[in-house]
Structure 1
Amino acid sequence: MAEANRRDEDRLSTPGRRSSIIRPRWLRFDEDWFGRFAEWIARTMGSPGFLMGMTVLVFLWILLNVVGIFGWKWDPYPFILLNLAFSTQASYSAPLILLAQNRQEDRDRLSLDEDRRVAGQSRADMDFLAREIAALRTNMGELSTRDFVRGELRDQLRDLLAEIEAADERPDGEISPTQSEPA
């Protein structure tokens, strides 16, 4: 009995999630599904096909109600029923379009945050690479460059070629001190 009271006290002392309105299962809806539906409505109502279809529908409506083909005259001249249909369409489409815009703004905000994060990371990487390149350039000052080595090799080759040509021109075949005798 003491354990049951303790469990009841623990359950009552901890805040829980309460639903103020208990809805039947068929009245619950997924907000993401509703948002996708609103985006679909916004895309559809802004399409050329919808606008052309609406224009044809209005033209036929007016034509049938003014001319009265086949005896159909359900909405006389001020076209009150047509105005009611347009008002109803506007009253539902405006909030759905606003909901779609809000969802798009949320996606844009997330995309912008991700772009900022990637740009910050790229900037940090570039700063790191710039520091590394600067350190390499500083250390390269102590090393021989490619042009320096090429120049030294060119000078030495030129000297060797000059000595070989000089040895070939001597009549006695005397070897200069920089040349070694063949083994």
Structure 2
Amino acid sequence: MTPATPETSASDPAAPAKSKDHHLRFHKTHAHLNSTFGSDTFALKAEAFARFFGTPTFLGAQTLIVLLWVGANVAGFTHFDVYPFILLNLAFSLQSAYAAPLILLAQTRQAARDKANADADAEHREALAMANEHRLADAAKNSAMMLELLEQNTRLTELTKALTERIENLTVEMHDHFVKKPSA
């Protein structure tokens, strides 16, 4: 694949011409993978929820809730979930039932995005390598042309020198022929 140039971008509407994200042109074919769960409201909330599970805020909040829950039931402030805290275990099971699939889905889609980005990067590297080969070929062609021009220039310079010497010799001969020296 050749890199998009101003000439090719006129014939290819997918190739951006001098746009600020021209360097991302190889990633455009994988743009549908950008949102992990899709682009609707549920998808955006699900992705935010899955991302929130790995944050220190979530772990701190969950630890605080568990400590308050256990502390309130052990201290006797409330008796809705006494030891062995079956309701708390049920809440953790419910949380795991929803968290695990969301996290797995996020990981699967992230792996797909990573692979697509790696493929796009490989395509970009290939395009750069091909462009570099073209530049090297053009440089070699220009070098060969310059060498040929230098050789022509050298031949012309040698020819000019030979002609100048011949003219000088002829001038001396003509001068000697027309201007005779008196004999002594």
| TM range, smaller chain | 0.5 to 0.7
The yes-or-no answer on 1:59 pairing with 2:67 is yes
Instruction: Show structure 2 runs of 5+ residues with no match.
Output: 1-36, 152-184
Larger radius of gyration: 1
- Cα distance per residue 1:86-127 (max 9 Å; x no partner): 011001100011111122122222222221221111111111
Range with greater deviation from structure 2 (56-65 or 112-121): 112-121
Structure-1-length-normalised TM-score: 0.57
Q: 1:139 to 1:31 in 2, by over 3 A?
A: closer
For CA contacts below 8 A with separation 6 or more, give which structure has more relative contact order.
2
Which residue matches 2:91? 85
Structure-2-length-normalised TM-score: 0.57
- Aligned counterparts of 1:32 and 1:102: Cα–Cα separation in 2: 17
Q: Percent identity?
A: 42
**Mapping for residues 112-127 of structure 1, pairs under 5 Å:** 112-127=118-133
Q: 1:129 to 1:118 in 2, by over 3 A?
A: same
Which residue matches 2:51? 43
- Aligned counterparts of 1:104 and 1:76: Cα–Cα separation in 2: 41
- Aligned counterparts of 1:65 and 1:32: Cα–Cα separation in 2: 42
Which residue matches 1:109? 115
Instruction: Show structure 1 runs of 5+ residues with no match.
Output: 1-29, 146-183
Q: 1:37 to 1:103 in 2, by over 3 A?
A: farther
Q: How many residues align?
A: 114
- Match of 2:148, SS state, is coil
Range with greater deviation from structure 2 (136-145 or 59-68): 136-145
